[in-house]
Amino acid sequence: MKEEIDIFKNDFFEKTNSVKNLEELKFLDSKFKLFLKSCYKDLISFSEIEKKDFGKIINDFKREGEKRLKTACDKFKSNKFQGIKNDPTIMKRNIKYGSGHPLVNFCKILDKMFLHMGFSIVSGPEIELDRYNFEKLNMPVHHPARDMQDTFYISSPSILLRSHTSSVQIREMQNQDPPIRIISPGTVYRVDDIDPQHTPMFYQLEGLMVGRNISFANLKAVLITVLKNIFDDDIEVRFRPSYYPYTEPSAAVDISCISCRKKGCKSCSGAGWITVLGSGMVHPKVLEGVGYDTNIYTGFAFGIGLNRLVMLYYDLGEIKKIYENDINLWKQLN
């Protein structure tokens, strides 16, 4: 065994002194470990006296070999940046910092606003069950109001892509007792044709407040405060009668067009007003469906199309610009 170790040692030490790259060094390290493993394995068949003598020889070789490998490795580390010099005439590279998408930034503005007003932020699944998206919102099967929202169904009539985040409100009301004050932002899907004010996928923020003595006056106060904080005190806000199966009474909320100041333009389709959200007092059947006593509790709900508000806030003209990924435009906005 001693002769085998001497032969391997001489060859190994010679190669570690002349190794040219890390790949060769890794190969030598693997070869060294395999040889040691075979030596220790052969040592089992020796007598106690031989084990003591040859064990010392093997351990001495192991220590020396590891030392040689470490020296060779350190040499490569020290030479890693050899020859690289600092040239003070080279122009410094400008570091370009990224920024949030305008839609994300706008959502953060709204989140802070509602948190300041005492609302909590909740979320839910985008792939939803029919009973949460429709049935528990006073829209049973074959209800005509379902035609108001062309829906993307997935594998069966009971599973769909949510058409509003009102489904999150139902889940929350089932899990907690009043008072409730929540907002639920998220992506929703509807089979809409693309035009300046519509896309088949958009972001929505819905709000819900349920408690004792909640009235339409509370709803108006919250929405007018939010809209005037988003834009400015000069905008006009109007509530006009509308219909939503899960609220009664219901109101669509319009604001005077930011772009044309009610003169008529492409953003408002010439009307001078833009509908930014739907709202109303929560329908008693919805409250009863989650186990609330309608003699004690009332509430209001609202749904804001965030894409449309972002279009107005940044004066983009068309909603589809939000998805065009125009870097130059985002730089200007940020």
**Binding site members for Mg(2+):** 248
Distances (CA, A) of 321 to 55, 132, 192: 76, 32, 16
Phi, psi of 238 (to 5 degrees): -130, 145
Report the alpha-carbon distance of residue 279 to residue 285 in Å, rounded: 16
Closest C-alpha to 210, from 306, 111, 293, 121 = 293
- What number of other Cβ atoms are within 10 A of residue 251's Cβ? 24
Phi, psi of 219 (to 5 degrees): -60, -50
Question: 3-class SS at 64?
Answer: helix
User: Which residue positions form the known binding site?
Assistant: 248
The amino acid present at 119, given as its one-letter code, is F
DSSP 67-113: HHHHHHHHHHHHTTTTT----TTSPPPPP------HHHHHHHHHHHH
